[in-house]
């Protein structure tokens, strides 16, 4: 066959162009389809639901009252106000169990001399400025009178009731501070003779501080745990020398365990009452947490099934106590994930060993703005927490959470929930779990 | 081609996962049902003629006797991306699937014996679907998006030889070693933050054997006839080290004739039967597999000269059944093809390009069309 070379080259060029275009357009695979679904699409995933309540869902469900624990406060709340018609009054207890009772002699080779008398004695506290200046719950709207009480009692360290009773006595000192001066260090003069007697006689001094004001007031003072302890200060005189001495809060009760954190603590004189039996409470003053340890079968959490949804359903009681229109949304409910190992059997301790979900890399567990004064079922998504438990296994951390209020210990409003002893099954807490069993998919 | 050269012993080395079997039958298109789409095991040049010369074509991986058609040592490589469109429910998906369906090579040993090996895709299971739906939970429903992706294939590794028993008769034998895997991923996501993303992967592996044999007869200078068949041995599906299912590899039988009696024209026709139904036990109960017939033919014309050699122009037609049914409906593929090929390096190399337009039907309301561009490169040093 006779053919010219030109059409051959042109044909070859055309073919090459087509081939190159086809090859280049196929460089990137694009496999995704779906238009023919559902008739041609796989249906391999089956979502199963299980609703658990009572012992099937929860191993432990209790209130943990007194959060933060006595003496571990980073700052001490001193409050005296009325909210929603209910009074709130807290005080700070400051212990000076060890006092400076001797002065060094000017002759350094001589023995120290005992203090024979004191002068200019005072209690120095530091008012902590609120970190959030927009918070209207930390308010000093008027002149504040600091009242100091002698709260030394011969009682066990943790017996706060007898200490509480001391606030019924007359104060041993006071100081009126104008509103604008309620900041920074404030010294409240103490009776020199009273302090001198305790110094000379080897006695301890334990003081309680509360406030009075024509209007509702509350403030925070520094604490030893927060690094800003209160101090007792005075001039001490020996027979030959004089010195200005200061002493931070400290405590050691002879014959009792050393509980250094009790050098200062908050004492609630009037606050949130204990919840009714069978009611779970989160928040309030003193702070309360709901400790929920799950008893969901390990076969569900630790198996090859994947939990895709786990919602905790709680039925909230309307709690109007301490409620006012302007405080309706001042508290939020948040979840803390317990990090205590299963060996920690003290629930109060386990309830403190918690981390927020976000710090554990868990998403989808929101801090929720449930109004405490509304009766309603609350849904708290916990699928991220369940995934964490699956990753960790059953031996690393307790499978427990705490429900806490963002106003824990500083805001009297709190959340109340029915427990498993609720009068109706529909009111009892439950966990709704949806999971996808692992399938050996693949074979057509 | 999804070539996988992983011995079954290695595939069985991973830890077992106890699992309840669940089917994954359909995949959003007509052609890759079941264990996948059979590209055909034929070269780009043969595909351009509707598969007509595959029984006598050295580069195609059907008839071991045709290994003799290599004449000289060489290697062959093929790339065949498929541009597929599936229309259903008023919507059309356009997908691109890259395939490398055939690699082959041969050497001559003396004047009568030619040994060769080919690796070709028996069934390509590569697809992906994305769809939306609702998960119905205890108290509400949540919308989800599910992505299901599979890649992989069952390949046929075929070492064989062809021997000239007479001047015009060749006999070939080959072993068929089946190997490959499917990697599957399901991912279900939701915009609802209370629902966690679900993802699961699975890997299936395949292992099996078979044997092929055939003859190629050239009764005259213008005619070549090829007849071949394949016997299926055991074919096994594994997940990790767990044997899931066993079946018999598909048998096949085919015959083809190539006629070169007209000046500048080559005519070729072929028919082929494949006993896919023996694979029935390899899938889940209910997997519908059918035996298929394949008919095809075409013509090659001597075209204009380029680069010192004439360009071969090819056209073809092919009609065949696909092995895996859709909702109990058989799937038929009809394709038209055209292409060209030309020699390079004084005939030591050849480039082939084929464009195939295929239409697949089977399920009412769903239409599938595909363009497949096949690139074949043969090099003979």
Scanning A272-380, the segments in alpha helix (DSSP H) are 298-301, 347-350
For B338, the closest chain A residue by CA position comes to A15
- Whole-model pTM: value is 0.76
Does A3 contact B27 at a Cβ distance shorter than 8 Å?
A: no
> What CATH number is associated with residue B54?
2.40.160.60
CB A148 within 8 A of CB A125: no
C-alpha angle A250/A252/A257, rounded to 5°? 130
Residue in B closest to A46 by C-alpha: B135
pLDDT for B26: 41
Taking an 8 Å cut-off on Cβ atoms, the answer to whether A306 and B128 are in contact is no
Nearest residue on chain A to B342, alpha-carbon basis: A12
Evaluate whether A151 touches A204 at the Cβ level (below 8 Å). no
CA of B81: which chain A residue's CA is closest?
Answer: A26
Give the DSSP per-residue string, A65-134. EEESPTT--SEEEEEEEEETTEEEEEEEEEEE-S---EE--SSTTSPPEE--EEEEEEEEEEEEPPS-TT
- Residue B344: the pLDDT is 86
Contact A38 B355 (CB under 8 A): no
Asked if residue A286 has pLDDT above 90, the reply is yes
Does residue B338 register a pLDDT over 60?
yes
Angstrom distance (rounded) from CA A104 to CA A93: 30
Partner residue opposite B182 with nearest CB, options A26, A434, A442:
A442
Task: Note the ipTM here.
Answer: 0.76
Task: Check CB contact under 8 Å for A36 and B86.
Answer: yes
Q: Where are the domains of chain A?
A: 49-67+273-436, 75-270
Look at residue A3 in the predicted model and tell me its pLDDT: 40
Q: Do A33 and B306 touch (CB under 8 A)?
A: no
Note whether B128 contacts A35, CB cutoff 8 Å.
no
State which residue of chain B sits closest to A308, comparing Cα positions.
Answer: B196
Residue from A3, A22, A40 to probe the interface with B (highest B Cβ count within 10 Å): A40
DSSP assignment of B214-276 equals EEEEEEETTEEEEEEEEEEEEEEEEETTEEEEEEEPPEEEEEEEEE--STTEEEEEEEEEEEG
Whether A11 sits inside 8 A of B148 (CB atoms) is: no
Q: How many Å apart are CA B107 and CA B95, to the nearest integer? A: 38
Cβ pair B81:A22 closer than 8 A: yes
Per-residue pLDDT reduced to its tens digit, B253-268: 999 999 999 999 999 9
Does A381 sit within 8 Å of B194, measured CB to CB? yes
Structurally, how many domains does chain B consist of? 1
Q: In whole angstroms, give the CA distance from residue B284 to residue B357.
A: 32
Q: Which of B149, B198, B305 sits opposite A308 (nearest CB)?
A: B198
**Mean pLDDT value across residues B193-206:** 90
* Res A326: pLDDT: 65
DSSP string for residues in A235-274 = EEE-SS-EEEEEEE-B---TTS---GGGGEEEEEEE-PPP
Structure tokens at B88: 């259903």
- Span A228-249, mean pLDDT? 93
Q: What residues of chain B lie within 8 A of the CB of A307, using their CB? A: 196
Q: Which of B62, B101, B125, B31 is nearest to B333 (CA)?
A: B31
Give the integer Cα–Cα distance in Å for B144 and B354: 42
**A165 torsion bin: left (phi>0), alpha (psi -120 to 50), beta (else):** alpha
DSSP string for B17-83:
---B-------SSSTT-TT-B---S--HHHHHTTTGGGGT-SSSSS-GGGGGGG-S-EEEEEE--EE
Mutate: best of B78, B133, B182, B195, partner A, most A CBs <10 A: B195
List the beta bridge partners of residue B142.
B135
Q: What is the 3-state secondary structure (H, E, C) of A396-409?
A: CCCCEEEEEECCCC
A17 interaction partners in chain B (CB closer than 8 Å): none
Cβ atoms of residues A438 and B19 within 8 Å:
yes
Q: At B5, is the pLDDT very low, low, confident or very high (cuts 50, 70, 90)?
A: very low
Mean pLDDT of chain B: 88
* Interchain proximity A35–B88, CB inside 8 Å: yes
- How many beta-carbon contacts under 8 Å exist across A and B? 255
Distance CA A80, CA A267 (A): 12
| pLDDT tens, residue by residue, A169-207 | 999 999 999 988 898 999 999 999 999 999 999 999 999
Range of lowest pLDDT (A130-134, A179-183, A249-253, B289-293):
A130-134
Q: How far is B147 from chain A (nearest CA, A)?
A: 8
Q: Which residues of B touch A311 (CB under 8 A)?
A: 194
Is residue A137 pLDDT above 50, yes or no? Answer: no
Q: Do the Cβ atoms of A441 and B202 come within 8 Å?
A: yes
Structural domain harbouring B269: 8-124+154-177+204-379
Domain formed by A49-67+273-436, architecture: Sandwich (2.60)
Q: Is the pLDDT of residue A121 over 80?
A: yes
In Å, how far is A370's CA from the nearest CA of chain B? 17
Chain B closest-CA separation from residue A19 CA (Å): 7
Query: For the ranges A96-100, A103-107, A267-271, which has the lowest average pLDDT?
Result: A103-107
In whole angstroms, give the CA distance from residue B178 to residue B122: 8
Domain-embedded: residue B106: yes
Measured between CA atoms, how close is B169 to chain A, in angstroms? 31
Least Cα distance to B54 among B96, B100, B101, B97 occurs for B101
Contact B366/B86 with Cβ under 8 angstroms?
yes
Would the CA dihedral through A347, A350, A354, A360 be positive or negative?
Answer: negative
Q: Model confidence over B278-337: pLDDT tens digits?
A: 999 999 888 899 999 999 999 999 998 887 888 999 999 999 999 999 888 899 999 999
Report residue A140's pLDDT band, with 50, 70 and 90 as the boundaries: confident
Question: Is residue A316 scored above 50 in pLDDT?
Answer: yes
Element (H, E) at B162: strand B141-166
- A118: tokens are 């004191």
How far is the C-alpha of B92 from the C-alpha of B98, rounded, in Å? 20
Nearest to A313 by CA among A358, A261, A376: A376
In chain A, whose CA is at the least distance from the CA of B287?
A444
CB contact under 8 A, A38 and B86: no
Q: Using DSSP, how many helices (H) and how many strands (E) does chain B show?
A: 2, 18
Residue B222 is assigned to a structural domain of this protein: yes
Q: What is the dihedral of CA B68, B72, B75, B81, to 10 degrees?
A: -60
Q: Which residues from chain A sit within 8 angstroms of residue B305, using beta carbons? A: 3, 5, 8
Residue B230: inside a domain, yes or no? Answer: yes
Q: Which residues of B touch A22 (CB under 8 A)?
A: 81, 355, 371, 373
Report if residue B256 sits inside a domain.
yes
Q: What percent of chain B has pLDDT over 70?
A: 93
């Amino acid at each position: 066959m006779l053919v010219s070379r030109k059409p051959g080259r042109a044909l070859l060029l055309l073919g090459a162009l087509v081939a190159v275009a086809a090859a280049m357009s196929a460089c990137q695979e694009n496999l995704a389809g779906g238009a023919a679904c559902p008739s041609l699409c796989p249906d391999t995933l089956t979502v199963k639901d299980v609703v658990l309540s009572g012992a099937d869902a929860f191993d432990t469900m209790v209130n943990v009252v007194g959060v933060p624990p006595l003496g571990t406060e980073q700052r001490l709340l001193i409050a005296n106000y009325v909210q929603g018609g209910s009074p709130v009054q807290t005080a700070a207890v400051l212990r000076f169990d060890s006092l400076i009772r001797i002065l060094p002699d000017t002759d350094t080779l001589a023995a120290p001399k005992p203090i024979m008398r004191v002068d200019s004695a005072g209690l120095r506290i530091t008012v902590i400025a609120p970190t959030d200046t927009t918070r209207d719950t930390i308010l000093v709207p008027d002149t504040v009178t600091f009242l100091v009480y002698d709260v030394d009692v011969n009682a066990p360290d943790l017996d706060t009731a007898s200490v509480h009773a001391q606030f019924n006595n007359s104060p041993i000192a006071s100081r009126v501070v104008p509103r604008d001066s309620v900041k920074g260090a404030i010294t409240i003069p103490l009776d020199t003779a009273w302090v001198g007697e305790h110094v000379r006689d080897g006695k301890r001094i334990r003081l309680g501080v509360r406030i009075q004001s024509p209007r509702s007031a509350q403030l925070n003072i520094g604490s030893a745990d927060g690094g800003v302890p209160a101090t007792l200060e005075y001039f001490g005189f020996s027979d030959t020398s004089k010195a200005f001495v200061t002493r931070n809060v400290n405590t050691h009760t002879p014959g009792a365990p050393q509980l250094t954190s009790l050098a200062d603590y908050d004492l609630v004189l009037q606050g949130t009452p204990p919840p009714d039996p069978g009611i779970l409470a989160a928040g309030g003053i003193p702070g309360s947490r709901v400790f929920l340890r799950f008893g969901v079968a390990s076969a569900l959490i630790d198996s090859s099934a994947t939990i895709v949804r786990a919602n905790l359903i709680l039925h909230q009681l309307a709690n109007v106590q301490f409620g006012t229109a302007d405080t309706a949304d001042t508290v939020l409910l948040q979840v803390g994930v317990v990090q205590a190992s299963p060996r920690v059997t003290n629930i109060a301790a386990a309830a403190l060993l918690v981390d927020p979900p976000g710090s554990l890399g868990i998403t989808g567990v929101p801090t929720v703005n449930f109004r405490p004064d509304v009766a309603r079922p609350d849904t708290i998504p916990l699928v991220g927490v369940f995934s964490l438990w699956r990753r960790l296994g059953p031996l690393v951390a307790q499978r427990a959470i705490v429900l806490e209020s963002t106003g824990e210990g500083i805001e009297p409003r709190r959340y109340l929930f029915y427990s498993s002893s609720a009068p109706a099954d529909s009111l009892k807490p439950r966990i709704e779990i949806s999971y996808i069993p692992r399938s050996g998919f693949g074979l057509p | 081609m999804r070539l996988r050269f992983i011995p079954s012993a290695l595939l069985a080395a991973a830890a077992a996962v106890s699992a309840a079997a669940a089917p994954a039958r359909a995949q959003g298109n007509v052609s890759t049902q079941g264990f996948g789409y059979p590209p055909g095991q034929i070269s780009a040049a043969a595909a351009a003629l509707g598969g007509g010369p595959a029984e006598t074509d050295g580069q195609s991986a059907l008839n071991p006797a045709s290994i003799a058609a290599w004449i000289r040592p060489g290697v062959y490589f093929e790339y065949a991306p498929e541009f597929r469109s599936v229309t259903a429910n008023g919507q059309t998906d356009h997908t691109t699937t890259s395939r490398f369906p055939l690699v082959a090579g041969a050497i001559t040993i003396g004047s009568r014996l030619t040994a060769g090996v080919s690796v070709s895709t028996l069934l390509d299971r590569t697809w992906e679907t994305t769809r939306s739906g609702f998960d119905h939970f205890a108290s509400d429903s949540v919308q989800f998006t599910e992505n299901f992706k599979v890649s992989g294939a069952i390949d046929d590794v075929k070492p064989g030889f062809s021997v000239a028993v007479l001047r015009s008769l060749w006999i070939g034998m080959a072993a068929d070693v089946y190997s490959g895997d499917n990697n599957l991923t399901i991912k279900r996501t939701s915009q609802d933050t209370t629902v966690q993303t679900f993802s699961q992967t699975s890997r299936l592996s395949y292992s099996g054997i078979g044997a092929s044999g055939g003859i190629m007869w050239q009764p005259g200078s213008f005619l070549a006839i090829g007849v071949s068949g394949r016997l299926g041995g055991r074919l096994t599906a594994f997940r990790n080290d767990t044997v899931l299912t066993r079946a018999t590899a598909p048998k096949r039988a085919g015959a083809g004739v190539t006629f070169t009696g007209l000046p500048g024209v080559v005519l070729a026709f072929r028919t082929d039967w494949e006993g896919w139904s023996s694979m029935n036990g390899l899938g889940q109960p209910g997997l519908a597999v059918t035996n298929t017939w394949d008919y095809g033919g075409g013509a090659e014309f001597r075209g204009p000269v380029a680069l010192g050699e004439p360009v071969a122009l090819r056209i073809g037609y092919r009609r065949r059944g696909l092995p895996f049914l859709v909702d109990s409906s058989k799937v038929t593929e009809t394709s038209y093809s055209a292409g060209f090929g030309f020699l390079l390096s004084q005939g030591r190399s050849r480039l082939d390009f084929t464009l195939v337009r295929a239409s697949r039907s089977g399920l009412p309301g769903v239409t599938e069309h595909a363009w497949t561009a096949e690139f074949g490169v043969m090099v003979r040093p």
